[in-house]
Each structure stands twice: as structure tokens, then as C-alpha cells.
A and B are shown apart, each in its own frame.
Chain A
Amino acid sequence: MVMGTERLDEATAELLANVAAEDAKRPDEPSLPFGEWVKKNLFSSIPNAFLTIFFSLLTLFAYRQILNFVFSEERRWEGVRVNLRGLFTFSYPASQYHRIWITLGIVLVLSGMSMGLMKSIGRGFSIKRISMWFFSVGLSLVVGILLREPSVLKDADGLARWSFPDGSPITRSETGLLLIRDDEGVSLLAEGESPLLLRESFGSAMSDRGWWWIIAVFALGIGSALWFGFGDMKRRTTFIPAIPLTFGFLGLFISSVWWYQWGHYGRDDAGILISEPDRLVASTTRIPWTILWFVLVLAYVAGRALVRTERAGLTRVLIGFSALLTPFVTYFVILRDPDLDWAHVWSTDIPMALAFMVGGGLIMWILTNPAIGERGRLIATALMGIAVFNWVAAFFGWYAMLQKARISFLLLALAALAAHNFAGDARQRLRSVWGWMGAMVIVHYLATMINTAETVAAPDQFAGGFVVTIYIAVFTMIFSFPLGVILALGRTSRMPLFRVMSTIYIEVVRGIPFITILFFFAVFVEFFLPEGMDLAALASAGIAFTLFSAAYLAENIRGGLQAVRQGQYEASDALGLTTVQRTGFIILPQALRVSIPPLVGAVIATFKETSLLSIVGLTDFLRVANSNIPGQTEFLGVKREGLLFICLIYWIGSYSMSKYSQRLEKQLGVGER
């Protein structure tokens, strides 16, 4: 945990280098010729051949239906295009949009830096694999072009053309309702007859898809250029690092906003629809995206520059902390405009923070002295007594310390109780003091910022769409993880009270459907709050998500705890580690490592479950696509397009998380057992 992460990375890098060296020495596996490969893998027996054919046909059919759906003339994709901003941020005021860009910038700086600071960035992708990508893209395009049904023929007014079942054309009357057969005058469809939609011929459809052909041939061309350009197997297994490659593709895509006419869609200030397909993307989108790409790349480069220096470890810790703080800072400080009461800040907030920093720091310095022994525990217990009494007194109204002071005092008492675990030499003690002061700065800063009126729109509706989805997901992850750890430790604890309480909590929460909990919180939460306090709907939903998810995380972590062998406990005890030290340094790191796959599974589940927010009245991603867009006058009933679009975004999010966890597993698995 605290120690050794750096050396772990070094050892990992070394090990991976060894693996790579071994790989280079190993002779190539003889690769089968294409025909042989197909025979061996796809047509090895009659049932297998049947399965191969059956599932190929099924896949082709599904592919064709999806293409027909996406490219159908009935689709109104501008419903999604016009509402892109709405989908991601809902009603966030356009004049304040720079705040969104700043938030994204912070996130990208942190992720770019942490990517750059990874000691081992993996082997990346081989030329062989990259050329295979191009082949598969090209091939899918060719198949797609051939499969998709020809377009509908339209008349001069842009209306679809129909025919009678016998093939004679239908002409519309002026009202558009009567079906007229030209030569015989007016007639109608007979009973049971249905008209046919006229489509262009296959040949003209193929030639109409000229641009798609060009892209397909281009992809196949790059694929074969890579394949044959790097002639033999050895050179085809040259590796290109994944991150620069990804940045390159991303850069290529983002640069297209400067040369490809993606079109200009949206609404102007008066709410009038803008739909200009033959234009570049608006400069208010073009410029920020370009800057953000450079920010990401520069952050990565900075990370790589730092990785071999002394500061790498410290920077990693700082990035970790910032990543945990970012959601709160952006939510309460950047996306919202805190309207501070400066008189109160100078007279109360700052002096209080300073007092706790200095006083608490002094107490930490005293209590982390290894020589203090029994007296230290007495002081800590006394502090805890006072801290608890403060809350009791406030509850009964004897005296009321400011809530911020009560919370800080409680934190101080907790830190004091744990202090003896972190005692040591002067450097060690100073570290505890700095840790306390840093924690106080963060707590007081956030508390001050949160407790203010705000100037940007109303509390719940200032953000919506994907932003809400992400915020709830991140909020849940940050809070439910420690809670889950505590519950898991409680459930496996030897102290009966903790064990029973944790077990009851976990079993009760797991026994209630999540939707019920969400509704319960939306309606009942105020009964649990002190008078005069009001939780925003978003906050109460966040709490419901946290409490629910913690119960499941706890069970996952408990599984990990049980995988830690008894010998690890015995060895820690025999060395004289305290329970806190044993849990923090020995048991939890091993248990969490084992629990990574189920934990990531839970995180992905939470990310997707945020779509339930739409049923408790919050405007999340799903609700915008499902209700808001179809409700607009221009796009009445345009629902399928939006739903397909959010499916894609949800999938990209979940899939990247799952990929990241695989990588993490691989990295942490090295050197174990």
C-alpha cells in the first residue's frame, strides 16, 4: 500500500522486459495456410460445419437488419445531432459552457499524466494485429454495402414512391390520400392488398454507395500495405505502443472537425433549430476539442518525462488524491458558481480551519511519539469523548458548536485514536502532521464551498444528461468503496456487535429491489434529516446508490478476504503488527487484488444502473433520449435514434472500464505467489 508500489512497478517493468526478450527468442509457431485454418477451426466435422453456416447466416441477417435500421430513410438522425449538447449536459447554460471544458480539461490532465506515469505501458499492438483491424473494417464495409437494401425511390417532392401489388405505379392525389392508377382513372387498393415501396435497382444502389466503396478499398489497401510491407513474420510482430497509437487515431478524428463537414446542428439562443449539413462543426466545439486533445497529449508527455525521476512516486500520489477530489471540486466549485459570504469566510471559516490545522497537527505530533505509550491512548479516548459529547449536546440543544467544527473534532479524535499505529521517527511523525493538515485544508475548503448559495441555475436542473450519469457513477464509486470495505471487515470481524450490524445491513439491503430503495430515498429521506436540512434530489439519489452498491461491494470484498490464507494473519501476528496495521498492510491489499474482477463488475453495473435515475424524476442520459427529444416539436416521436445512440455511449464506457480492469489485473498479478 504505502510502501513498495514504486518497486513493484520496477519489478513489473523488468519482468515484462524479460517476457519480451523470451518472446523474441522463441521460434515462430508455424502458421497454417488459410484453407487449412478454415478446415481445422470451422469445418472440422459435419455438426461444426452446420454450426458455422448457421451462425454465419444469423450474423449476416442481424448485420443487415441493423444497417437497414440505421440507414433507413425514416431515421431522423438530426434529432440526435441537434440535441448532442442536450444529451450530454441537458440545460446547462451556453454562456457558462467554458466550465464544462475546464472540467474536461482537468480530467484529461489527470488521466494523461497517470497514463504517462505508468512504468510499464505494455507491449502495444503488433503490425499484424493493426493490419488485421484494417482488413476487418474493410471487409465489414464491403459486406455491409452489399447487404443493405437499396434505397427507396422518391418523387420530385421528396415523397416515397409506391406501386400496386401488380407493379403498376401509384400516383397520389392532391390530398395524398387517394391512390390513383393512371390509365384507368381512380381506384383503390382491393381488400387485403398492400402497396409496395419502390426501391432503386441493385446496380444503381451499388453505384450510389461510391463513397463507402472508396473507404472500404482504402481500409483494405492500408491493411494489405501493412501486411505485405512488413513481409516476414518477425517484422509483422513489431509492436507499436498502444497509447501513442490511440492518441494518433483520436487526433486524426478530432482534426477532421477542421476539414470534414460534419455539419452544424443545434439551437440558437431563441431556441430555433439550426440544421446546416454542409458546414464545419461550430467553432465553439471545434476549438475546445482541439485544445483538449493537445492538453491530453501534453499531460501524457509530462507524465513520461517524470516517470524516471525521483518525483514520480509523489506525483502519482498527488494525482490519485486529485482524482478523488475532482468530482467534488468540479461539482461544487467549477460547474456551480459559489457565492461566498466573504465576511463569514474571514471571520469564521479561515480561523477555524487554521485552529484545527495547528492544534490538530500538534496533537498528532505528540501522539505519534513512540514513547508516549499509555498516556497517548488516554488523550485519544478523552478527545473522542468530547467529540461525541459535542454531537449529543447539539442534539439536545445544550450548546451547539458549528457543524463544521463538530465534524472536524470527530475527525481529529479518530485520527488520534489511530495515531499509535503510525508512530515512528521524526520523519514519520511529520508525515502524519502534514497528512492531518492536508486533510483539514481539503475538508474545510470543500465544506465552505458547498455551504454557499449558487449563481448558476437551480440546484438539480443545472446539469443533466450524461453529466448526471457520470456524477452519480463516480460519487457512488468513491463513497461506496470505503463503506464496502468497512462492511466486509465488519462482517468478518471477531467483534460480535460489528459482525451482526454489518450482516444485518448487507442482508437487508441485498434483499430489497434497488428501485424500491430509490423511491424510498426520494420520499422518505427527509424524515432522517435534522429539521431545516434539505437534500437535493440528486444528492439523495447518490446516497441511495452508495448505500445499495456498498452492500454488494462488501460481499465481493468479503470473498477476497476469505481468499487470504490463515498463514498471513499468523505471520502478521507473530511479527507483532497491530490489528489496524495487519489489516491495512497485509490483508486488505491481498484481498482487494483478488476482488478486482468482481469490483469492476460492480462499478460497471452501477454505471449502467444510473439509468434508473430517470424514473425518480432526474434528467439523466436515458431520460433525455427517451422523453426530452421525442417531446420536441421538430422531433415528435424520434426515440429510436436517441436510444441507439445512448446504447453506444453506455457500451463504450462499460467496455473501456472492463478493458482497464483486465490490464490492472495483469499488472498487479505479476510477482504474486
Chain B
Amino acid sequence: MTNADATIAVNSELAARDDMIISDGVDKWYGDFQALKGVTATIKEKEVVVVLGPSGSGKSTWIRCINRLEQHQNGRIIVDGVELTNDTRNIEKIRSEVGMVFQSFNLFPHLTVRDNITLAPLWVRKKPRGEAEQLAADLLERVGIPEQADKFPGQLSGGQQQRVAIARALAMEPRIMLFDEPTSALDPEMIKEVLDVMKELARSGMTMMVVTHEMGFAREVADRIIFMESGEIVEVGTPEHFFTNPTEDRTKLFLSQIL
């Protein structure tokens, strides 16, 4: 069965045409500890979903399962019509469709900013060098640091590094962007510059899944908020519903602690 066949099969069985990520009863154990307990959610095209929850609630684990940085044990994950299985080709396909931004940036310290960005377009997308470099220049312009192309990551501030990391992920022209606590490692004055880039990205219609503790961002940008605790989804709703009128006690407790 080719990828195309698999796509059609999955689509007809489970998915609506604009479902980008389907997580269906996903379980994940670390040894005896169950990190994810039957996590089920669907994320539509162009939707911005913010995942909230106390630390240790499994939100990072979940988002990392979606591009196979972690392997789930039960349930199904379907990304843009391709199911995550042990088949390397499916994993490769999904990874090239999904961009990821990490808490600790994870830029390649031995490459310049430009080479960080062009690496994947050159070697994974097989773009000609000129095209890839043009793309890098455009993306650096977009994240607001066009003048830093020849520097090394170590020479940039944290906020600039994270913006390079976003540009690097965007260089693969992904259909989905995953953000794993992108501002948690930043000094307060640098958080805004990164959030601004993410807001711009959300407005441009990118499908985004964001794990964060930035309530202001969640309230302003999110289409939906998913609240997790102890590996379960506790509550799902619009920001308005979530911040003003939550139904679950656990959500209320969390909000009272954080706001």
C-alpha cells in the first residue's frame, strides 16, 4: 500500500478533509509511569491550539509524540492524513510536514545562522543552493533579524536564537508548527519578540500547536485551549470559555494558582 492509498483509507475512515492532526486514544508509558492516558483530540487546518497544564501533565510528551520524538504505545496519531507507524517512510514524511520549535532552541552551534536555516531545505527538500539561501534571507527578514545571517548561534541573544529556530523550522515549509514551551528559557524582555513572531505566524494561517505558560498569548491568539493534567485532557474550549467560565474544578484550581 502506497502512502497515497494509506491517506485515502485514513481519510475515509476517520478524518474530515480539514483535520490536520488526529490523536486517538494515545497512551504512553515511561516504565511503570503512564505519561499519557488515552489522549484524544483533533486539530483542524489553520487552527491555533494552545495546550495548558501544570508541569508534568504530559503536554510536552504529547506534542513530541506527534512528530515521533517520543513513541506512543497505544492509540493512533494521524498527521495530515498519514498515520504514524513504525514505517520509516511515514515518519520521514510527517517530519518534513511538521516544524518544531524547542524550549532550548537546539540550534546547531557549529553552523552559521544561514547554514542552520538552509541545511534542511538543501538536503531534505533538495532545493538548489541559491533558492535555499534566498528562502533563508526571506525568513530572517520575516522574524526580524536579517542582519544576523553570518553569525553563529552563540553570538546571538536567547530571543534571537529562538527566532532563528522558528525560521529554521519554517524553512521546510511545513503545514503544521509545533511549539514546545518556546519562551520558557528566555529572559522576560525577550519573550515578547518571540511571541510577536508567533502571533504573526498564527495570523498568516499556519496550523499551530503550542505548549506554553504564556496566558496572555493563549488568550489573544488561541482558537482553542486544551487543558491537560496527569496525562489526560481535562477540558477543551475557546479562550473566552476557558478563562472566564471553566467547567472543571481542576481547571479552576489551575487558573486560581496561575492568574
Bound together = yes
Q: Which residues of A contact B (CB under 8 A)?
A: 3-4, 7-8, 10-11, 370, 421, 423-425, 427-428, 565, 567-568, 570-571, 573-578, 581, 585-586, 589-590, 593, 670-673
Report the separation of the CA atoms of residues A49 and B95 in the bound assembly, to the nearest whole angstrom: 67
Extra A-B contacts (12), CB below 8 Å, given A571-B102, A576-B95: A4-B115, A10-B150, A11-B150, A424-B126, A568-B106, A573-B68, A574-B95, A574-B99, A575-B124, A576-B120, A577-B123, A671-B109
B104 near A574: Cβ-Cβ < 8 Å? no
B98, B107, B118, B126: the one contacting A370 at CB < 8 Å is B126
Tell me which residues across on chain B come within 8 A of A593, comparing CB atoms. 110
Nearest to A371 among chain B residues (CB) is B126
B95 and A570 contact, CB distance less than 8 A: no
CB nearest neighbor in A for B2: A374
Q: Which residues of chain B come closer than 8 Å to A671, judged between CB atoms?
A: 109, 151-152, 154-155
**B94 to chain A: closest residue by CB:** A576
* B111 CB, nearest partner CB in chain A, Å: 6
Closest to B64 in A: A570
Chain A residues, Cβ within 8 Å of B254: none
Q: Which residue, of B102, B119, B123, has the highest number of chain A Cβ atoms within 10 A?
A: B123
Bound complex: CA A655 to CA B123 (Å): 41
In the complex the two chains form, what is the Cα distance from A656 to B12 in whole Å?
A: 70
Which residue of chain A is the closest to B92 with respect to CB atoms?
A576
Contact B115 A3 (CB under 8 A): yes
| B interface bracket (residues with beta carbon within 8 Å of A) | 35 or more
B29 within 8 A of A: no
Q: Which residues of A contact B92 (CB under 8 A)?
A: 576, 578
* CB–CB A581/B152 < 8 A: no
B interface with A by C-beta (< 8 Å):
67-69, 92, 95-96, 98-100, 102, 104-112, 114-115, 118-120, 122-124, 126-129, 150-155, 168-169, 172
Between A and B, 21 residue pairs with Cβ closer than 8 Å are A4-B111, A7-B114, A423-B126, A424-B126, A424-B127, A427-B128, A428-B128, A565-B106, A567-B102, A567-B104, A573-B67, A574-B102, A575-B119, A575-B120, A575-B172, A576-B120, A577-B120, A586-B108, A670-B152, A671-B152, A672-B154
- B115 proximity list for chain A (CB < 8 A): 3-4, 7
A673 to B114 Cα, complex, angstroms:
16
For the complex, give the distance between the alpha carbons of A575 and B98 in Å.
8
- Chain A residues, Cβ within 8 Å of B67: 573-574
* Chain B residues positioned under 8 Å from A424 (CB to CB): 122-123, 126-128
Asked if residues B110 and A590 are in contact (CB atoms below 8 Å), the reply is yes
For the complex formed, measure the closest distance between the CB of B109 and the CB atoms of chain A, giving whole angstroms.
5
Evaluate whether A571 and B106 lie within 8 angstroms (CB atoms) in the complex, with A671-B154, A672-B154, A673-B154 already known: yes
- Which residues of B sit under 8 angstroms from A427, Cβ to Cβ? 128-129
Which A-chain residue is minimally distant from B95 (CB atoms)? A576
State in angstroms the CA–CA spacing of A668 and B255 once bound together: 49
Residue numbers in A under 8 Å from B105 (CB-CB):
567
User: How long is the Cα–Cα vector from A670 to B128 in the complex, in angstroms?
Assistant: 29
Of A3, A573, A578, which one neighbours B111 at CB under 8 angstroms? A3
**Residue from A425, A428, A571, A574 within 8 A of B108 (CB atoms):** A571
A573 touches B150 (CB 8 A): no
What is the CA–CA distance of A46 and B101 in the complex, to the nearest angstrom?
A: 61
| Separation of A573 and B98 alpha carbons in the complex (Å) | 11
Chain B residues within 8 Å of A574, by CB: 67, 69, 95, 98-100, 102, 169
Bound CA span A3–B113, Å: 12
Residues of B within 8 A of A421 (CB): 123
Query: Are A576 and B110 closer than 8 Å at their CB atoms?
Result: no
Contact: A585 with B123, CB < 8 Å?
Answer: yes
A4 to B114, CA, bound (A): 9
CA distance A671 to B155 in the complex (A): 6
Residue from B99, B102, B110, B119 in contact with A570 in the complex, judged by beta carbons closer than 8 Å: B102
Quote the shortest CB–CB distance from B189 to chain A (angstroms): 22
- B120 nearest CB neighbor, chain A only: A575
- Assuming A424-B126, A425-B126, A574-B99, is B152 touching A568 (CB within 8 A)? no
For the complex formed, measure the closest distance between the CB of A378 and the CB atoms of chain B, giving whole angstroms.
14
Chain B nearest CB from A446 CB (Å) reads 31
Contact of B127 among A7, A425, A565, A589 (CB under 8 A): A425
Tell me which residues across on chain B come within 8 A of A575, comparing CB atoms: 95, 119-120, 124, 168-169, 172
Nearest A residue to B123, CB-CB: A581
A593-B169 Cα distance, complex, nearest whole Å: 26
> What are the residues of chain A within 8 A of B110 when measuring CB–CB?
589-590, 593, 672
A570 contacts B127, CB within 8 Å?
no
Complex alpha-carbon distance, A11 and B110, angstroms: 12
Would A7 and B102 count as touching, CB distance under 8 A? no
Most buried by A among B95, B105, B110, B124: B110
Contact residues in A for B168 (Cβ distance below 8 Å): 575
- B68 CB contacts on chain A under 8 angstroms: 573
* Chain A neighbourhood of B118, CB < 8 A: 3
Chain B residues, Cβ within 8 Å of A585:
108, 119, 123
For B169, list chain A residues within 8 Å (CB). 574-575
In the complex, chain B residues whose CB is within 8 Å of the CB of A565: 106
CB distance from B80 to the nearest CB of A (A): 14
B152 cross-chain contacts in A, Cβ below 8 A: 11, 670-672
Report Cα–Cα, A672/B107, bound state, in Å: 11
In the bound complex, CA of A573 to CA of B107 (Å): 13
Given contacts A4-B115, A575-B95, contact A11 B151 (CB under 8 A): yes
- Complex alpha-carbon distance, A672 and B110, angstroms: 6
User: How far apart sit A390 and B19, CA to CA, in the bound complex (Å)?
Assistant: 52
Q: Complex: how many Å from CA A427 to CA B132?
A: 14
**Contact A576 B96, CB 8 Å, known A11-B151, A424-B126, A427-B128:** yes
Give A310 Cβ to nearest chain B Cβ, in Å. Answer: 15
Is B126 a contact partner of A428 (Cβ separation < 8 A)? Answer: yes
**Cα distance, A670 to B122, chains bound together (Å):** 25
Instruction: Determine the residue in chain B with the shortest Cβ distance to A584.
Output: B123
Q: Give min CB distance, B110 to chain A, whole Å.
A: 5
Chain B residue at minimal CB-CB distance from A670: B152
Q: List the B residue with the shortest CB-CB distance to A673.
A: B154
Bound form: Cα–Cα A589–B168 in Å:
19
A570 touches B124 (CB 8 A): no
A1 (CB) vs chain B CBs: closest residue: B110
Sorted from nearest, which 10 A-B pairs have the closest CB atoms? A671-B152, A571-B106, A567-B106, A574-B100, A425-B128, A576-B96, A576-B95, A575-B120, A370-B126, A424-B126
Q: A480: shortest Cβ distance to chain B, in Å?
A: 24
Shortest C-beta distance, A651 to chain B (Å), equals 34
Q: How far is the CA of A567 from the CA of B98 in the complex (A)?
A: 17
Smallest CB–CB gap between A137 and chain B, Å? 41
Known: A425-B126, A585-B119. A571 touches B107 (CB 8 A): yes
A421 vs chain B, min Cβ distance (A): 7
Other-chain contact of B109, A7, A10, A578, A672 (Cβ < 8 Å): A672
Contact: A11 with B112, CB < 8 Å?
Answer: yes
Q: Tell me the complex Cα distance, A11–B95, Å.
A: 32
User: Within 8 Å CB of B155, what residues of A?
Assistant: 671
Chain A residue at minimal CB-CB distance from B67: A574
Smallest CB separation, A14 vs chain B (Å):
9
Chain A residues with Cβ below 8 Å from B95 are 573-576
Give A569 to B81 CA distance when docked, in angstroms. Answer: 26
Nearest-neighbour CB distance to chain A for B72, whole angstroms, equals: 16
Q: How far is the CB of B212 from the nearest CB of chain A, in Å?
A: 18
Residues of B within 8 A of A567 (CB): 102, 104-106
What distance in Å separates the Cβ of A665 from its nearest Cβ neighbour in chain B? 14
- CA A671 – CA B154 in complex, angstroms? 6
Nearest-neighbour CB distance to chain A for B154, whole angstroms, equals 5
- Smallest CB separation, A417 vs chain B (Å): 15
Which residue on B lies nearest to A587, using beta carbons? B108
Q: Cβ of B153: which chain A residues have Cβ within 8 Å of it?
A: 673
CA of A574 to CA of B67, assembled, Å: 7
Cα(A201)–Cα(B201), bound, Å: 92
Min Cβ gap B206→A in Å is 16
Q: A427-B128, A568-B106, A581-B123 are in contact. Are A576 and B172 (CB under 8 A)?
A: yes
Q: Which residues of B contact A4 (CB under 8 A)?
A: 111-112, 115
